[in-house]
Structure 1
Amino acid sequence: MGTIEISGLIAIIGCAIGVLGWLSGKDKQATNDGHWRGTVDTKLDDIKHSVGETGKQIAGLSAKIDNHADRIRAVEESTKSAHKRIDRLDNLIQPESEENHEN
């Protein structure tokens, strides 16, 4: 009967050591998970901030492009007007040059 009691006592001690080891590992894992999550949250916040800044920059560029489009339209209209004036001047000058070529 002594060996059975010793065997039972060894089994109980082994189970206790196993449970304590499992609990210790579980606490370490929880600590590691918390550290990992904190790191991931920090990185995600940085990414979110960068994306927000990029969005603001894109909005600013879009406004500049719209402004440039308006200015280009005005330049094109002015250029058309200038070409019409140049064409009228060409028509005024061209008859004189044709008369000179005929003589």
Structure 2
Amino acid sequence: MTVELGTLISIGSALIAILSVIIAYLTYQSKKTNLTKSDTKENAEVKAGLDYIRKGVDDIRIDLKANEKQINHLSERVTRVEESSKQAHKRIDKISPEKG
């Protein structure tokens, strides 16, 4: 029984094609794994950045509330000083002789 050269070449070509498909699949899986790792790392960095921004916004809100309390307190004090000043002017006007 003799095997023809064309048959051997066909079988060899088929084996090379199968081997090429296997190598392509393994390469695809390797790149997919690396891409997943890269995406995970990027997502972690974005999440860390967002957490940092969220903390900064919370700190700004706390500072803003403290400033609002101080402004309200100063507003009340200014109102009291204006009332006191008005009363003092009335008393001074009663005491001082009228010009004229």
Match of 1:89 among 74, 91, 95: 95
**For the residues of structure 2 that align with 1:51 and 1:32, how far apart are their CA atoms?**
29
Identical aligned residues as a percent: 30
Corresponding residue to 2:42 among 36, 40, 57? 36
Matched residue, 1:27: 33
> Please, what is the CA RMSD of the aligned residues?
1.3
Out of 16, 20, 23, the position equivalent to 1:14 is: 20
Displaced runs of 4 or more, over 4 A? none
Return the alpha-carbon distance in structure 2 between the equivalents of residues 8 and 21 of structure 1.
Answer: 20
The structure with the greater share of residues assigned to helix is 1
For structure 2, list consecutive stretches of 5 or more residues without a partner in the other structure: 1-6
Taking structure 1 as the reference length, what is the TM-score of the superposition? 0.84
Secondary structure of the corresponding residue to residue 18 of structure 2: helix
CA distance in 1, matches of 2:12, 2:56: 65
1:5 aligns with 2:5: no
Q: Structure 1, unaligned stretches of length 5 or more?
A: 99-103
